[in-house]
Chain A
Amino acid sequence: MTDTPIRILIAKPGLDGHDRGAKVLARGLRDEGFEVIYTGLRQTPEMIADAAEQEDVDVVGLSILSGAHMALLPRTVQLLRDRGMPDVLVAAGGIIPDADVVKLKEAGVAEIFGPGTSIGQIARYFRENVRRS
């Protein structure tokens, strides 16, 4: 089913109010042919998982700069699994220390894109790694 556009939910979990990066990525992925559902700022993991469930997305992209990633990202992954969506690719972007990257990947976050990653790189990663059942 790779001939239908990849659907991605982009969300900002937690309390930081900086969404320039999320918006730039949303716009960039639109230009890469993705269908981007943007949910805005200050979302709880529950709201994100509920939205992802209704939208039946292939990817959940989380932008986080607050430092609360160790709490919010694994929780979101877990909630998606609880809702019967273990195949959804969860990726994160933002300021995340290298030491945490390993732990987040163990918790089920597929990939983490730090500062300087190009939109082309991100799009290519999603195209190559999306799992559709």
Chain B
Amino acid sequence: MSPQSVCAVDTPEPMIGELASGERRPLARLLTRIENGDPSVRPALPELFAAGRGAHVVGITGPPGSGKSTLVNALITEWRKRGRRVGILAVDPSSPYTRGAILGDRIRMMEHAADRDVFMRSMASRGELGGVAATTWIAAAALDAAGYDPVLIETVGAGQSEVEIARLAETTVVVEVPEMGDEVQAIKAGLLEVADIIAVNKGDRPGADRAARQLRAMLSTAGGRVERKPPPVMVTTATTADGVVALADAIDAHRSQARTPVEAGERAANQVRRALADLAATRAMADATWDRTIRAVADRALDPMTAAERLLDGVG
């Protein structure tokens, strides 16, 4: 919504307080405002993030058709058995030409539509890189404040923006299929690098175990991010829920892996560091002062170090 819109924003509702009630409608309305970039949301953000209960944010990503939504559906069933209230944000791409979108993740999850302890929201990516990540971060905070834990963020793993969204998650599950390719695919940079857990889904197809073995072998040799041990590789069949109990266990275990409060704090800080850097960069690139300074450097009117000092002068 644009600031000059005629729609009234002069009645600030007690948006955040209502979330704790467990009612769906206030949460659904708030998510719409967040998606629309409604200016009434901005002043509520400190309260919103303070109201968070520390939900485990889990990213689910992977190529189109790998079974992410079906796997999420099976995970919801498993977590409901464990008495958890589950929130889901499913992000699908908007057309850059028409701004329209087909949001189809719900098809696989309709069995949970009537469950009051499951809240599922489809979101279109609506435009530029980074903006999606910011919106998703705030939306996940809203689900957290409303008492959902875990909060699952499902994205199509097709590019950079999905990697950015995955960075918001404390635990990122990358869903692959047995036909994903040979060993070289496993050591390419990209999606697999952000994986904390890899699920080789459609495990009833030939080659699933072999694909999992190859992934394990390749990931254990290279090491990936230096401070990490290689991610566990699990085989799942979402349609029958085979392997889903183990996957849910692995996701829960990933959170509790941090042995000390210091270690847990450091990991949380790293996660926020990456997400915040993305957010700040997006804001900066849209800023007129930054643009002028960038052009000055491009025109050789200014050296890059002076430019950086000027831009960050007064920051922090």
Contacts and interface: CB of A to CB of B under 8 A. Distances in A.
Interface of A: 1, 3-5, 26-27, 29-40, 43, 46-47, 50-51, 53-56, 83-85, 132
Contact of B107 (A1, A35, A39, A56): A39
A40 B100 contact: no
Q: DSSP majority for the A interface?
A: mixed
B138 interface: no
A55 B110 contact: no
Contacts of B31: 56
B5 to A, nearest CB: 6
B25 A53 contact: yes
A36 B100 contact: yes
B99 interface: yes
Given A32-B98, A37-B122, 10 more contacts: A29-B100, A35-B101, A36-B101, A38-B107, A39-B106, A39-B113, A40-B107, A40-B110, A54-B120, A85-B25
Nearest to A56: B28
A84 B27 CA distance: 13
Nearest to B104: A38
Contacts, number: 91
A17 to B, nearest CB: 14
Interface of B: 1-2, 5, 7, 24-25, 28-29, 31-32, 35-36, 94-95, 98-104, 106-107, 110, 113-114, 119-122, 124, 126
B114 A50 contact: yes
B41 to A, nearest CB: 13
A37 B35 CA distance: 15
Contacts of A132: 7
A43 B110 contact: yes
7 contacts: A3-B1, A5-B99, A33-B98, A34-B100, A47-B113, A51-B106, A83-B24
A46 B113 CA distance: 8
Nearest to A4: B36
Contacts of A50: 113-114
Contact of B36 (A1, A33, A47, A84): A1
Contacts of B126: 5
A122 to B, nearest CB: 14
A35 B124 contact: yes
Contact of A56 (B29, B103, B114): B29
Contacts of B122: 37, 55
A3 B2 contact: yes
A26 B100 CA distance: 10
Contacts of B5: 1, 3
A30 B100 contact: yes
A50 to B, nearest CB: 4
Contacts of B103: 35-38
Nearest to A28: B100
A54 B121 contact: yes
Contact of B28 (A31, A47, A54): A54
